[in-house]
Structure 1
């Protein structure tokens, strides 16, 4: 595992790179993080998956987006379009330095960024892996704003998501759960909808509490619509806890196993 900084669109970005300890490089994987506390909760799972893929011959890069983690900038300075540009810089660097197919791997809202990356910049990965993807940025934003609504209620205050959205629409930045949201960034997130990433195939991964729990109606409708449009998408359902949101850090070994197996299939096609 190596750590370094590379030049992004607006500043230096921190990245972790996992490389094979021995043998030839089979390909490369670009990971796009979850946002807010979901990123912190999922670091262990992402690191474990990266190590597993590296052991199978893949170079895996985990960049911190601008304003996140150890990269330059504050979150309030982040812009959605700049994040797309930074991911393109990282993908270009991977293509220049390592042989083999490119795999894109997103987690939660990171899947929105990767799908937009493929459409804006014409990337065509051999495989896109979507871990518990957020399908609608607008809905995700409202869920995050409810954290501030709940905090206000605990302090005997009263706010609503509609009022908070109105403040953002008027050009006012808002602090939510320790993150300052800029109206321009919020507008881009609210307009982001998950599109089928360009490329050969998509692997949609969902973690469920038990084997009787179906996919959410939103996910099921979207997957069916993609398939009707002749998008090559397969679904992996594994049993486990929602590691990106649990109070304690937890692991879902089956998700690691099956993701590793799915990436290995890239070399067989």
Structure 2
């Protein structure tokens, strides 16, 4: 039988709240896992896949906490009001709640795409990392997001100089609208400065990427990043798993093999 998660609002600063889902482990906790979601619409596209994985992890004995960051999902504030510092505070908030519910056990930060850029920081304690299709550069993630606006304007012939205009607005401290999201300068600048570099005491790192090609290998940028983590003393495992890029597909899709490899990685 699948146990329903505990859905609740976690009190945050200034009277705000963060929507959380806690998936209690079956039996004694084998580990504690905090999930950090990807950027903007990728969060919504990946909800089904993440929910299935949370259930599988809990059934295997892992305690999992999901948190909607400030301005995302059903948490307080609008997306355009959030900053990178707000999201870092939310990670600390999630870690504290996980400590309260499950005081002991190995700790994992599980993240998808830009969520990995948020996770890769020194949290003042030993952590392990589970990266799903991580972005190695926040600057690249920001460019990819801004290109959504560029693509939408191309049909009308208004795309010339648009990228420079958007970057100029953000540099001047003003917000821009992209694909239905208002992106504030503070969040954009924080994202652009984030890199996927090892930080804090070394632990375990599981780096999982998806591809529909049978002979797929890690991308060169990923290989370089994994090497940096390994050289910094992290026990690394990097795999390419068969499956679709569910965070960006038109229809909601899942990657069963990724769930299986995830269970193996945190075992």
TM-score between the two structures when normalised by the length of structure 2: 0.93
* Alignment of structure 1 residues 179-258 onto 2, 5 Å: 179-198=181-200, 199-258=202-261
Q: How many Å separate the matches in 2 of 1:44 and 1:176? A: 24
Tell me the residue number matched to 2:133: 132
* Alignment of structure 1 residues 1-269 onto 2, 5 Å: 1-10=5-14, 11-20=16-25, 22-98=26-102, 99-116=104-121, 119=122, 121-125=123-127, 127-158=128-159, 159-198=161-200, 199-264=202-267
Structure 1: 4+ residue segments shifted above 6 A? none
Q: How many Å separate the matches in 2 of 1:178 and 1:90? A: 27
Show CA shifts across 1:109-158 (max 9, x none): 00111112xx1x31311x21000001100011011101111111123313
In the TM superposition, what is the alpha-carbon distance from 1:197 to its structure 2 partner? 4.7
Contact 1:115 1:195 in 2 (8 A): yes
Contact 1:223 1:233 in 2 (8 A): yes
Q: How many Å separate the matches in 1 of 2:217 and 2:31? A: 33
Contact 1:9 1:82 in 2 (8 A): no
* RMSD value, Cα: 1.4
Q: Secondary structure at the match of 1:111?
A: helix
TM-score between the two structures when normalised by the length of structure 1: 0.92
Q: Secondary structure at the match of 1:175?
A: strand
How many residues were matched structurally? 259
Q: How many Å separate the matches in 2 of 1:92 and 1:200? A: 20
Q: Secondary structure at the match of 2:75?
A: coil
Q: Secondary structure at the match of 1:65?
A: coil
The alpha-carbon distance between structure 1 residues 86 and 183, as it changes in their structure 2 partners (threshold 3 A), is: same
Contact 2:198 2:232 in 1 (8 A): no
Structure 1: runs of 5+ lacking an equivalent: 265-269
Structure 2: runs of 5+ lacking an equivalent: none
Show CA shifts across 1:95-121 (max 9, x none): 1221322111000000111112xx1x3
Contact 1:29 1:105 in 2 (8 A): yes
